[in-house]
Structure 1
């Protein structure tokens, strides 16, 4: 295995989570109190690409009392400002960003400043010098920013530790039942036990890879598919879907060169549907690879902790396999596109003013 920033960043996640546990637990308590005082009618979860998938997963993960969570990607809000401006308020905008400086990140900040100044903001970023970290709204909405540990500011092209740590950070701030002080060390131990086996899996690169999951794991499946697509520079085609949604047309993508990964949900009721689909695909396509990911008895067992943070463990196989398959293709893993048509931080998007 050749060294790379991406390899180091994947393997660094257990240590990052453990070190972040106590600071996050303290900060999250204050953020939850602030949210309760501000009493938003709804909470928007925004980001672009991988950062948007954090919101998609969280919106299906956080349960209990509190305002509804709406995944509204920055790419959607910037292109269609009315999606936010025409909603009843008050609202809290939670925006995620590794760099905190992408075109759409800045575009959403500008949009809130100009047209939705009453929206409160919680910005979660890995870059202390970014727009997300430093810009304050004009009011009357209030702005809070959480800066993640420096190690999460991935230097590789693909988001790995930034994705999982931003997810856990938001979970701690939005779900009072998630105790970061105890959950993150447990997740750290689980990930540290899993990773060595993932690097030695017998899993040759397929022509296409499909990732499936239910609930919050649908968002994790989407992120998993993107990791493989990115790090193999599009030479491994990928697809993602919900477990039950896959039968309704998308299963047409399966052929002899496909590898299917089915995430078995920790909830026993949900897991029945996941396991049924895995068995169905194996029966209908006996010559392809079908791999289950989840708790005890799965092909890839994750040492689940029983906390809401277990979702981050499900993305580790795709992170590792994407790196291995990229290396097998002879690509520079930290920049598979060699700066040609995709870049680590999206910039140069023309932003247009909006007239309400």
Structure 2
């Protein structure tokens, strides 16, 4: 897997992380097969809410990586729905500390909770606050753990539904990988106005399978460059995805690699000052012709910088100009049909970011399954005090 032998994986204490990244195409296949069978009942639940209220607010929420699921989805879901549904992404960590800034009594709200374990204190507290503050309050729990508190709390509640991810998506590693992509796909299939067909699913899954088999070698080439800083860039929802990509590097390198994210246009406005001769820049290239112009502009600007910095570009298909400007180009579409939107590309791009962080972790001598042995961060966050709320 990723040009790593089983011996190397075991010696590096990386078996969970490596397996959980590599298994994603198979997990996605299991997930979409299950969701195609249940999609109608889920849509009926949502339609009953939409019909009842003139406008409905849908808050996508979670903490850390789970929050980035919503960040990545909202631009695409908001673009598709121009009617009575308002999509927002708000982390539980913001809602818990400032509930009245985000939860409104007279606004019908569907709270979509993303959770690997379902036991994070902020996630459980956010639900409690929603129930206390919002009059017409509904829940969708998208989780990888059927035994988690979030899933248990809504059993028997006819104003709530649970979407349970395949068992393998409940990552045992500290870093969330297959849990992130699985929950992202599940929410997209639930809320998309476009038809997520079996053909589209097959195209993405097939491309992911082929990407898993080929990215080990280019990642090894990238790692010959001893970068100490990494910047992830993208536009639109790919800018949001870059937050998750940067977090994977930060987590799996134990903080030894400084990792930031920004939009392609926003990078010039201050964050560009982070670049040094020991920097790597990863650009998530949009497939949208208009948006792509802005991605190309920042690529040209970065390529013109006279320094030791290196540039990696993720793109749908091979592009002659991109090949000339970047140090490494990785195309992700293995099929003959074009990928229809940046959301589908995001599922493929994040696989590269996960695998790069994994191999950088091993290179640094860190154990990817537990890159924080001192307990600074943990699989389920600890040390959070939840205070009673009185309206």
CA offset at residue 94 of structure 1?
Answer: 0.5
- Structure 1's consecutive aligned runs of 4 or more residues displaced over 3 angstroms after TM superposition are none
- Identify if the C-alpha distance between structure 1 residues 346 and 94 changes in structure 2 by more than 3 Å, giving closer, same or farther: same
TM-score under structure 2 normalisation? 0.87
- The residue number in structure 2 matching 1:183 is 200
- The residue number in structure 1 matching 2:49 is 38
Deviating more after overlay: 40-49 vs 224-233: 40-49
Deviations for 1:192-216, whole angstroms, at most 9, x for unmatched residues?
1112221222112410000001111
- The residue number in structure 2 matching 1:147 is 164
Distance 2:248 2:160 in 1: 31
CA offset at residue 182 of structure 1?
Answer: 3.1
CA offset at residue 249 of structure 1?
Answer: 1.0
CA offset at residue 138 of structure 1?
Answer: 9.7
The match for 2:141 among 123, 127, 141 is 123
- The residue number in structure 2 matching 1:64 is 80
Structure 2 alignment gaps of length 5 or more: 10-14, 323-328
Deviations for 1:76-102, whole angstroms, at most 9, x for unmatched residues?
101110123336411111110011111
- The residue number in structure 1 matching 2:242 is 221
**Residue 170, structure 1, aligned to residue 187, structure 2:** yes
The match for 1:241 among 262, 267, 276 is 262
- The residue number in structure 1 matching 2:119 is 101
CA offset at residue 319 of structure 1?
Answer: 0.3
Q: Is the 8 A contact 1:29 1:173 kept in 2?
A: no
Q: Is the 8 A contact 1:45 1:71 kept in 2?
A: yes
- The residue number in structure 1 matching 2:27 is 16
- The residue number in structure 2 matching 1:85 is 103
TM-score under structure 1 normalisation? 0.95
CA offset at residue 71 of structure 1?
Answer: 0.6
Tell me the secondary structure at the aligned position of residue 60 of structure 1.
helix
- Identify if the C-alpha distance between structure 1 residues 285 and 130 changes in structure 2 by more than 3 Å, giving closer, same or farther: farther
Rg larger in structure:
2
Q: Would you say how many aligned residue pairs link Structure 1 and Structure 2?
A: 355
- The residue number in structure 2 matching 1:47 is 62
- The residue number in structure 2 matching 1:338 is 373
- Identify if the C-alpha distance between structure 1 residues 302 and 88 changes in structure 2 by more than 3 Å, giving closer, same or farther: farther
- The residue number in structure 1 matching 2:151 is 133
Distance 1:150 1:229 in 2: 26
The match for 1:306 among 335, 340, 355 is 340
Structure 1 alignment gaps of length 5 or more: none
- The residue number in structure 2 matching 1:198 is 215
- The residue number in structure 1 matching 2:388 is 353
Distance 1:340 1:136 in 2: 31
Q: Is the 8 A contact 1:106 1:131 kept in 2?
A: yes
Deviations for 1:138-162, whole angstroms, at most 9, x for unmatched residues?
97x8111111000000011100000
Distance 1:174 1:259 in 2: 35
RMSD: 1.8
